[in-house]
Structure formats: structure tokens, C-alpha cells
């Protein structure tokens, strides 16, 4: 999913050159797990030597760690799926170790932002792009005989999310664990042609991501950990908005970020949201 967008994004850039409160007083030992929505592909500065993960040192994990103090192990990696919690992830620039390897008994805080690549959500948004009229909305392609293939895929992911949360808690028993949801990628009715997605598809994208976030929230609650909602606070900051307002870049980015991924402004705001959620729970 991510690799299909990377060349386009690069070209565009060239063109537009639950633990005790005692932890609150101590330094956090924070581990960030997740995919490109957490990693921050193409946002300066990309972290060496793991360039294959397209991970920014200004993503929300780094900024949250600065807010909270203490140490950070950020192993988020663009393209990651739930299986990469347990097995190495091959990138164009090398192999990355299983993300859960970063956890230990001394870990006090974990954020996990995963699942979109398992069901291909970003690829789905890309598939719904319609650059020219006339054309047909794509949402009907995923709904047949009363079944919605994206909802089915989301429901099929539930046991994997459960297992990831259980294994995080087993490896980091003293940590507060937060499952982080995905942001708003389309406003109501969209904004064709600025973002070339038809009205029906923009609303379908919204509903699909809302259902996906609901699934994450439900699995977090079932496992006794907290969920951080990014979709609600990012309303009004979607790819249809101006460059000084949006938190997610559109099909053709105008800032250093990948299409349909958070930009630097988005990461700063996500860090504020995550920091507030962590502090409120202490």
C-alpha cells in the first residue's frame, strides 16, 4: 500500500521543493508500535539508519515523549501489519526486527497504531480516486448480496488485534497501553475535484474508517486498555482543507508528507491528543 504512494509523494515533494500514579513522577519508558500513520513517512527528519521504515523524528511518538520526558523506543514502520509485531519486516532498505522485541518489563507506556495495512485501507482510498468525470463511484464494488467486504475484513481482524494487545501486556506487564485510531481522511460529501473522490465514495470512506476505529476501540476495551480517538478531533482538518489547516495530506501533497498520511501539523496535534490522554489517565 505504502510503496505505491511513495514514488508519487517523492515526485510531488521535488516539484514543490493500567499502572500506578507513581510512574507519572518517574521518567517514562515509552515504546511506540505501529504503521505509517504513526511513523510519519517523508516528514523531516527521517530517522537513520532505518530509512526503510520512513519514520520521522517529528512523529507523534517523538513529540509525545518530549512532552512526557523519559526514553523512547520508536519502532513504528511504514507498511507494517499486525504480523510484523512478531516477525521481521522486509523493506526496500533492509530488514526490521519484530516490533514487540522493543518491549520489556521496564516499559511503562505503549502506543500501538496498527491494522490499516492488514485490510488495505489506504489502497482502498487510492482505488476510489476518480480523476475525470464521468465515472462510477467505487463503493458499490465492495458491497454485494448485503455484505460489505471492508466491514468483513475489519471484523476478521478482531482476533489479531486482541492477540497483539495481549502480547503487549505479557511482555510489558507494568505498561499503560493505548490503542490509537486513525484520523479523518474525507469530509462529509468530499471535495471533488480538490480531492478526486466522488461524494458517495467520500462518505463510504468515512463510514469505513469509522467502523474500523470502532473495532479498535471495542477490542481495546475488551482487553482492558485505552483507546485514543483521532478521527473525531481531526474533523475539519482533512485533506480537503488548506495547507495550514489540514492534518492529512491529499492525493498531491504540498508539504513534506505522503498522500493520505499525516503531515507535520497533524503529528503535532496528534502528540497533543496522545499526551493529554496519557496524563489524564495517571
- Please return the burial class of 200, using the count of CB atoms within 10 Å of its CB with bins 0-12, 13-18 and 19+: middle
Residue 30 grid cell: 515509552
Kindly provide the b/e burial profile for residues 36-70, where b requires at least 16 CB atoms within 10 angstroms of the residue's own CB: bbbbbbbbeebbeebebbbbbebbbbbbbbebbee
CA atoms within a 13 Å half-sphere pointing along the CA-CB vector of 109? 28
Q: What is the C-alpha separation between 269 and 92, in angstroms, rounded?
A: 30
**Active-site residue flag, 261:** yes
Residue 260 grid cell: 493520505
Which of 23, 29, 36, 234 is catalytic? The answer is 36
Which of 23, 113, 237, 261 is catalytic? The answer is 261
- Phi/psi region, residue 190 (left: phi>0; alpha: psi -120 to 50; beta: rest), is left
User: Is 83 in contact with 161 (CB distance < 8 Å)?
Assistant: no
**Active-site residue flag, 84:** no
Q: Active-site residue numbers?
A: 36, 261
Amino acid at each position: 500500500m505504502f510503496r505505491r504512494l511513495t514514488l508519487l509523494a517523492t515526485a510531488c515533494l521535488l516539484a514543490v521543493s493500567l499502572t500506578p500514579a507513581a510512574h507519572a513522577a518517574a521518567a517514562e519508558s515509552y515504546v511506540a508500535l505501529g504503521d505509517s500513520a504513526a511513523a510519519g513517512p517523508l516528514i523531516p527528519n527521517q530517522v537513520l539508519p532505518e530509512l526503510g521504515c520512513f519514520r520521522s523524528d517529528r512523529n507523534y511518538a517523538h513529540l509525545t515523549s518530549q512532552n512526557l520526558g523519559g526514553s523512547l523506543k520508536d519502532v513504528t514502520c511504514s507498511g507494517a501489519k499486525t504480523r510484523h509485531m512478531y516477525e521481521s519486516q522486509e523493506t526496500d532498505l533492509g530488514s526490521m526486527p519484530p516490533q514487540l522485541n522493543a518491549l520489556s518489563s521496564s516499559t511503562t507506556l505503549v502506543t500501538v497504531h496498527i491494522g490499516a495495512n492488514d485490510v488495505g485501507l489506504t489502497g482502498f482510498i487510492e482505488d476510489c480516486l476518480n480523476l475525470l468525470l464521468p465515472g462510477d463511484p467505487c463503493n458499490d464494488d465492495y458491497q454485494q448480496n448485503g455484505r460489505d467486504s471492508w466491514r468483513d475484513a475489519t471484523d476478521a481482524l478482531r482476533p489479531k488485534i486482541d492477540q497483539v494487545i495481549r502480547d503487549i501486556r505479557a511482555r510489558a506487564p507494568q505498561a499503560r497501553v493505548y490503542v490509537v485510531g486513525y484520523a479523518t481522511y474525507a469530509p462529509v460529501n468530499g471535495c471533488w475535484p480538490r480531492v478526486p473522490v466522488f461524494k458517495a465514495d467520500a462518505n463510504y470512506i468515512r463510514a469505513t474508517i469509522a467502523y474500523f476505529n470502532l473495532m479498535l476501540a471495542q477490542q481495546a476495551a475488551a482487553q482492558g486498555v485505552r483507546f485514543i480517538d483521532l478521527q473525531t478531533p481531526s474533523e475539519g482538518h482533512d485533506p480537503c482543507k488548506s495547507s495550514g489547516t489540514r492534518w492529512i495530506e491529499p492525493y498531491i501533497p504540498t508539504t513534506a508528507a505522503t498522500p493520505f498520511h499525516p503531515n507535520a501539523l497533524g503529528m503535532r496535534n496528534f502528540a497533543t491528543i496522545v499526551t493529554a490522554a496519557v496524563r489524564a489517565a495517571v
